[in-house]
Chains A and B, each alone.
Chain A
């Protein structure tokens, strides 16, 4: 009996030790060996990351991960989505539970350094805003003294919130709930006067209300929120794959290459387009990918503008303007690094 217990304990220890050792390899090698990767997303924000009625994950952030799956395996389904609350996401990436987060995480110094992450290109430039019920008659965030504010814990949102109220010497009471769905229900149920989040997320949450017209987003933007995918320190090749997948989608939009007109570029003379689409070899290979990785991404997923319009823009229920997220050539901030 005792001997059995000892053996069982030793076996368990050996198994645990084995699983620990497997994590030590480079992320990209492990992903290639597995034939798929794990992408951490949020628990559900319309437009950004949400499971459809068929159980398939959809949204802007989800498309980024699917594009990486296409770049690696030429198959948008070679990625597994794992939803996390704002509080759970960082340990999940740090410990290797997922290989990448694509869930509206704000790029900050602390996260880039102390938490051990590398941030990819900013895929969505955002700013924090406040949403209130129209009945309150509030026109500006400066009138919010004494209000009760609903906020998600473990976010830059809650830090900016305290900064803003301190700066303007206003008092407030907070209600922090980890699950977004519960938090939204608390706000729409009248538990809070104000709901604060990135303004794009506010627009998305407003679209999920039973009566969206009862609510307005106040004009103030109290912070800069550069949102983008991130990976953990320790594998630069994997970081490169993530970065250049995003740049490929932005570059494609800049050249006017869309999902719908992709094949009309088959006989192009423009060298930049030839390099991007892999007609001139070398770019994909440098990243350890297929030379046609960008072609495959645009064919299966689309360019940056495509995924923006379908998930967040005119083609969606949220109807966000491109604004800061337009291309630099049109006065926005989206700018791809040259494919050379």
Chain B
């Protein structure tokens, strides 16, 4: 019997390190993570290999050489000059700038209009807050794509160019967009633009000084008069110094379309309006919740100091509300940038539209999708980095 008992215990004595190691927390978590990581790597390698193999089997050539080939694509509008003889690379750049254009203008509009709407939503006037609430509910609960089509159809219902509305001299509203007078493009305009930029920087610096002075001495220095003078005088001075000819070009109907001036195309107008109207509903709710998150005692304390409501909002409530507002605003801006890719549905030549066409004409699906992903990732990460920096700046410094 003893002989039987011995072999029973001997192997368990030799292997009892297994449960000990297996139950070690560090070993287990490391092992699981290693397996998961290995699995992810394997999957990635598998799909890459699969794609490469299939492309080779179909005889599809890979690489980014196509970016230098002439694109031959028509692009309806762009910030930089483009002709179909230019390369695919430039065509994609035109699309990218169009995406930037709608995103940057949109984010500014969304901030201003959204904050206004959010504050109106808090108004004690039941008619005003009720109207805003209805707007928010309707807009937030219908699909964005549908809203874009709606705006595009609305803009398209405007009269033909030959019957265009002509509310002011040189302003035409038709189904080809809104045409307004503009300045003749001239290299000298850069001087004026630089002067304007300088004036803005100067005004901001002066405002900073004025605020520092007020904090130190309590004396209030008005900023607006000097800022206005700077903004008007500097560009004018630049125009005079460098004798930039200021020649306005005025749109006029020539043949099929308007020639001269500048225009907002129906596609851009519909996209900007649609995205903005949609996004401000979200911003309004973010602002409302932010303002409501500030303790009511702050209002009462400020009123007891004799401040008026508008100043309380601007100087006391909004700065504190910002801490709640900024993080969700980041994702709203990100959504705006990403939603702008719906432009493709209504014919605005944004990045997605141009890249899709490039993919189709060259057959380089993998490469073009990689470009798209890289670009949207960079845009999103930049917005996110900026907003995180801003968030840290306004965060409550706890001592």
Q: Is the CB of A146 within 8 A of B254?
A: yes
Residue picked from A2, A144, A163, most chain B C-beta under 10 Å? A2
Query: Given A10-B39, A114-B61, A159-B72, are A154 and B254 also a contact pair (CB < 8 Å)?
Result: no
By a CB distance below 8 angstroms, the chain B residues around A95 are 54
Query: Given A13-B39, A13-B42, A176-B353, are A2 and B29 also a contact pair (CB < 8 Å)?
Result: yes
Q: Is the CB of A153 within 8 A of B356?
A: yes
In B122-158, which residues have CB < 8 Å from any A CB? 149, 153, 156-157
Q: Is the CB of A191 within 8 A of B175?
A: yes
Q: Is the CB of B57 within 8 A of A234?
A: yes
Q: Is the CB of A16 within 8 A of B365?
A: no
Q: Is the CB of B46 within 8 A of A17?
A: yes
Q: Is the CB of B257 within 8 A of A173?
A: yes
Q: Is the CB of A175 within 8 A of B347?
A: yes
Q: Is the CB of A174 within 8 A of B156?
A: no
Q: Is the CB of B365 within 8 A of A146?
A: no
Q: State A149–B257 Cα separation when bound (angstroms).
A: 11
By a CB distance below 8 angstroms, the chain A residues around B43 are 13, 16
Does A319 reach chain B (CB closer than 8 Å)?
A: no
Q: Is the CB of B349 within 8 A of A9?
A: no
Q: B230-261 CB contact bits vs A (8 Å, 1 = yes)? A: 00000000000000000000000011110100
Does A190 reach chain B (CB closer than 8 Å)?
A: yes
Does B74 reach chain A (CB closer than 8 Å)?
A: yes
Question: How near does chain B come to A32, taking the closest CB pair, in angstroms?
Answer: 20
- Number of B residues near A (Cβ < 8 Å) is 55
Residue picked from B255, B256, B259, most chain A C-beta under 10 Å? B256
Of all chain B residues, the one with the shortest Cβ separation from A153 is B357
Does B316 reach chain A (CB closer than 8 Å)?
A: no
B-contacting 9-mer, from A51-59, A83-91, A269-277, A293-301 = A83-91
Q: Is the CB of A148 within 8 A of B256?
A: yes
Does B328 reach chain A (CB closer than 8 Å)?
A: no
Does A264 reach chain B (CB closer than 8 Å)?
A: no
Query: Given A182-B346, A186-B347, are A136 and B256 also a contact pair (CB < 8 Å)?
Result: yes
Question: How near does chain B come to A142, taking the closest CB pair, in angstroms?
Answer: 13
Q: State A5–B360 Cα separation when bound (angstroms).
A: 38
Q: State A185–B77 Cα separation when bound (angstroms).
A: 20
Does B395 reach chain A (CB closer than 8 Å)?
A: no
Please pick, from A20, A87, A116, A148, the residue contacting B363 in the complex, using a CB distance under 8 A: A116
Q: State A252–B22 Cα separation when bound (angstroms).
A: 75
Q: State A166–B74 Cα separation when bound (angstroms).
A: 11
Does B13 reach chain A (CB closer than 8 Å)?
A: no
By a CB distance below 8 angstroms, the chain B residues around A6 are 32, 35-36, 39
Does A151 reach chain B (CB closer than 8 Å)?
A: yes
Of all chain B residues, the one with the shortest Cβ separation from A177 is B347
Q: Is the CB of B74 within 8 A of A154?
A: no
Question: How near does chain B come to A194, taking the closest CB pair, in angstroms?
Answer: 8
Q: State A147–B175 Cα separation when bound (angstroms).
A: 14
By a CB distance below 8 angstroms, the chain B residues around A155 are 360
By a CB distance below 8 angstroms, the chain A residues around B47 are 16, 20
Does B106 reach chain A (CB closer than 8 Å)?
A: no
Of all chain B residues, the one with the shortest Cβ separation from A176 is B347
Does B85 reach chain A (CB closer than 8 Å)?
A: yes
Does A233 reach chain B (CB closer than 8 Å)?
A: yes
Q: B38-72 CB contact bits vs A (8 Å, 1 = yes)? A: 01101100110010001101111100000000001
Q: State A116–B53 Cα separation when bound (angstroms).
A: 13
Question: How near does chain A come to B31, taking the closest CB pair, in angstroms?
Answer: 10
Query: Given A13-B42, A172-B74, are A90 and B50 also a contact pair (CB < 8 Å)?
Result: no
Q: Is the CB of B257 within 8 A of A147?
A: yes
Q: Is the CB of A186 within 8 A of B345?
A: no
Q: Is the CB of A158 within 8 A of B256?
A: no
Question: How near does chain A come to B133, taking the closest CB pair, in angstroms?
Answer: 33
Q: B360-377 CB contact bits vs A (8 Å, 1 = yes)? A: 111101000000000000
Does B75 reach chain A (CB closer than 8 Å)?
A: yes
Q: Is the CB of B361 within 8 A of A159?
A: yes
By a CB distance below 8 angstroms, the chain A residues around B77 are 173
Q: Is the CB of B257 within 8 A of A148?
A: yes
Question: How near does chain B come to A97, taking the closest CB pair, in angstroms?
Answer: 12
By a CB distance below 8 angstroms, the chain A residues around B156 are 185-186, 189-191
Q: State A10–B72 Cα separation when bound (angstroms).
A: 46
In A74-108, which residues have CB < 8 Å from any B CB? 86-87, 90-91, 94-95
Query: Given A2-B29, A2-B32, are A151 and B256 also a contact pair (CB < 8 Å)?
Result: no
Q: State A74–B357 Cα separation when bound (angstroms).
A: 38
Does B313 reach chain A (CB closer than 8 Å)?
A: no
By a CB distance below 8 angstroms, the chain B residues around A159 are 72-73, 361
Query: Given A94-B365, A177-B347, are A162 and B72 also a contact pair (CB < 8 Å)?
Result: yes
Q: Is the CB of A178 within 8 A of B257?
A: no
Does B76 reach chain A (CB closer than 8 Å)?
A: yes
Question: How near does chain B come to A135, taking the closest CB pair, in angstroms?
Answer: 9
Does A43 reach chain B (CB closer than 8 Å)?
A: no
By a CB distance below 8 angstroms, the chain B residues around A9 are 36, 39-40
Q: State A172–B75 Cα separation when bound (angstroms).
A: 10
Nearest first, the 5 A-B pairs at minimum CB distance are: A154-B360, A116-B58, A174-B74, A162-B84, A115-B363
Name B residues whose Cβ lies closer than 8 Å to a Cβ of A: 29, 32, 35-36, 39-40, 42-43, 46-47, 50, 54-55, 57-61, 72-77, 83-85, 149, 153, 156-157, 160, 175-176, 254-257, 259, 266-267, 344-347, 349, 353, 356-357, 359-363, 365
Instruction: Provide 26 A-B residue pairs closer than 8 Å at the C-beta atoms, listed in order of the A residue.
Output: A9-B36, A20-B50, A23-B54, A87-B357, A91-B365, A94-B58, A110-B363, A111-B363, A115-B363, A116-B363, A146-B254, A146-B257, A148-B256, A175-B267, A176-B74, A176-B353, A177-B345, A178-B356, A182-B149, A183-B347, A185-B156, A189-B153, A189-B157, A190-B156, A232-B58, A234-B58
Q: A87-B357, A116-B363, A166-B83 are in contact. List 17 more A-B contacts (CB 8 A).
A: A2-B29, A6-B39, A9-B39, A17-B46, A86-B360, A87-B359, A87-B360, A90-B365, A91-B359, A110-B362, A172-B74, A174-B75, A175-B347, A189-B175, A193-B257, A233-B57, A233-B59
